Amino acid sequence: MSSPISDEEQVNTAYEDVRSDSTDTIWLLCLYEGKEIVLSGTGSDYDDCLAQLGEDVRAYVYLRVETGDEMSRRAKFAFITWIGLAVSPLKKAKVSTDKAFMKKILTQFGKEILADERSELKLEKIEKILESASGAAYGTGR
């Protein structure tokens, strides 16, 4: 089976940018255009990413979140699959097989999140999911 990703090198470059401590890029977004998955964009404001996730959209998001407390701050990463509620069952099914191709590029993440409701995409919720996945917190939470 051939990859549905139109430009894997472009997606990999964006992935490395999100992972880099020397840039302010915190997300990358890949959307479907027909049967292909394309890099739709990257950015430093998560709201810009969220604005592109409509009810009829299938997407993959790679998100960088700073977690921890005053004892240790570190970057954590989430791999988010978004399937809007208006997406047809056939297209929803395609996402499950295509996700494997995305995971070959977006290999490092603390948590995988499947979302179909906007509330599941709130930054605060994702931060909590990543913090709980990272283990014990030793500081006071400040």
Q: Which domains does the chain have, with CATH numbers?
A: 8-133 (3.40.20.10)
pLDDT at 92: 96
pLDDT for 73 equals 77
Structure tokens at 142: 């400040």
Q: Look up residue 138 and give its two tokens.
A: 């030793």
8 Å CB contact between 81 and 120? no
In the chain, the amino acid numbered 110 is G
Q: Give the pLDDT confidence of 71-105 residue by residue, as tens digits.
A: 777 899 999 999 999 999 999 999 989 999 999 99
